[in-house]
Amino acid sequence: MTNWLLRMLIVLMCCAASAVMAAQQIDSVRMSKSPDATRIVFDLQAPLQHTVNKLGNPDRIVVDLDGAALNFDFSKLDLRNSPIREIRTGQHAADKVRVVLDLTSAQRPKTSMLAPSEGSGWRLVIDLLADLDPEDPPNQVATISKSPLGETLADFRPMVVALDPGHGGQDPGAIGPSGTREKDIVLQIGKRLADHINRQPGMRAVLVRTGDYYVPLADRRRIAADKYNADVFLSIHADAFTDSRAHGASVFALSHHGSTSARAGYLARIANDSDKVAGVYKEERENNSLLNVIADLTTSGSLTHSLVLGRMILEEMGQVTKLHGDRRKVEQAGFAVLKEPSMVSLLVETGFISNRTEEKNLRSSAHQEKMAKAIVGGLHKYFEMHPKPETYYALLRSRGGVRPATHKINSGETISSIARRYDISENSLREHNKLRGDKIRAGQVLRIPPG
Ligand SMILES: [Zn+2]
């Protein structure tokens, strides 16, 4: 349904409703905060007509609600760490309410009327988005000024890695047998990983979530892509499985058409339910099918690269922790958080919090450090192989390249996956190793043609 049609429908429904009903009473208003947005939710019995105006000097947002009476004490809302200084309300007529949000800084309001779903009724959602300054410094800064090659790193664009610790706020994620919450563990790992990335010349990390609050899945992708222009997006998780024996780390990429295993599909369903658990709902739902089509057309390139990077991260993680099913294969399923075509996007399951041994490991700072270093190792190898123009890695490549002379075959690898990994043709790999056909075996060492 188009936005226009939806609005018309709401207006019609409102007119019909107000003709027969007295003003509806609003007695629940909720608020949630993240560094990128503040959300205010009015719980309604029926849709209502409203106008939202942004005013300056001083900055404030004025919300007028028609056909409504307020029965809510706004002093109950915690305004700390939000751009709202004060909330004032007034009943302008028996059926007209005005809510004024006095702001500490200019905010862009975005409103949506959400239809009942999953146990919630009608809701008017007002998001206050910071009027972003394009010069806004990212939340992590690389401080290394000299590369080993003597150039000033400032001359090069860093590869930007967006780290997305899963869950947060009202959504604890999976909970381990000793009560460990996934949202806490993945935030700790994410912060350690950011530190390690920022110590690497040519890489810079940004965190999509920096504290214990929830960020809707679609916003996570948008913050990474639009605010930080990230090259790579890594969502970090430590999920549970019904069978407590399940163990091992794994890496997932997006699939538009089904899942590569039952477990991949199961984990994607759980991950995609995150918005519901946190009580936020996808807006612009009516546009989703179209977006999916566009995504289908444009993700093909980044999906291929996601699989290559995923494999490299798995290889490195396999050195420091058990892999799920001992498989170095990147699984695929329909993870909503990975549907951003402009970034190489992966979801890293650092282990099973439902498994007692792994729960203990995941809590240990030594283990978290090992995992973080392994993931950085995978990123480094990937950037070496697939440098983007005008980056430090492109410089490294131009200085004689970083392609190794040999490659020891891991189980599950194929001629084509190895060729892709080193950015060479399958034929040149075959010729260089006098291979006939596609038969190779794990442990065999291949010579890699020089770049
Ligand atoms: Zn999770």
Ligand 1 ion local residues (Cβ < 5 A): 166, 173, 237, 239
Q: Is residue 139 part of a domain?
A: no
Tell whether 144 is covered by a domain.
Answer: no
Q: How many angstroms is it from 273 CA to the middle of ligand 1? A: 10
The helix/strand/coil state of 10 is helix
For residue 338, the CA-to-ligand 1 centroid distance in Å is 13
Q: Is residue 14 part of a domain?
A: yes
Domain count, the chain: 3
My answer on whether 39 and 91 are in the same domain is yes
Query: 423 and 372: one domain?
Result: no
**Cβ count within 10 A of residue 39:** 21
pLDDT band at residue 256 under the 50/70/90 scheme: confident
- The three state secondary structure string of 229-272 is CCCEEEEEECCCCCCCCCCCEEEEEECCCCCCCHHHHHHHHHHH
351 pLDDT band (50/70/90 cuts)?
very high
Cα of 89 to ligand 1 centre, how many Å? 39
Give the end of a domain, one of 356, 375, 395.
395
C-alpha of residue 171 to centroid of ligand 1, in Å: 10
Q: What is the pLDDT of residue 105?
A: 87
How far, in Å, CA of 294 to CA of 384, rounded? 30
Distance CA 163, CA 160 (A): 10
Tell me the whole-structure pTM to 2 decimals: 0.60
- Considering the domain architecture, whether residues 343 and 204 belong to the same structural domain is answered as yes
Domain, as residue range, for 416: 403-447
Residue 199 included in any domain: yes
Q: Cβ–Cβ contacts within 10 Å for residue 171, how many?
A: 21
CA 251 to ligand 1 centroid distance, Å: 12
Q: Is 73 part of any domain?
A: yes
For residues 424 and 318, membership in a common domain is answered with: no
Which pair of tokens denotes residue 281?
């709902």
Query: Does 19 score more than 50 pLDDT?
Result: no
Judgement on whether residues 368 and 262 belong to the same structural domain of the protein: yes
Ligand 1 centroid to Cα of residue 276, in Å, is 13
What is the predicted pLDDT for the residue at 128?
Answer: 86
Q: Are both 194 and 340 inside the same structural domain?
A: yes
CATH number at residue 415: 3.10.350.10
Query: Are 188 and 282 found together in one domain?
Result: yes
pLDDT digits (tens, 9 = 90+) for 149-180: 445 556 678 899 999 999 999 899 999 999 99
State pLDDT tens for residues 110-144: 877 777 776 777 888 888 887 654 333 333 333 33
| Claim to verify: residue 57 and residue 119 sit in the same structural domain | yes
Could you tell me if residue 137 is inside a domain?
no
Within 8 A by CB and 6+ apart from 256, the residues are: 292, 295, 296, 299, 334
Q: Are residues 410 and 364 in the same domain?
A: no
Ligand 1 center from residue 66 Cα (angstroms)? 40
Instruction: Output the CA 386–ligand 1 centroid distance in Å.
Output: 29
d(CA 257, CA 33): 34
Ligand 1 centroid to residue 182 C-alpha, Å: 7
Distance 271 CA to ligand 1 centre (A): 6
Does residue 385 sit in the same domain as residue 431? no
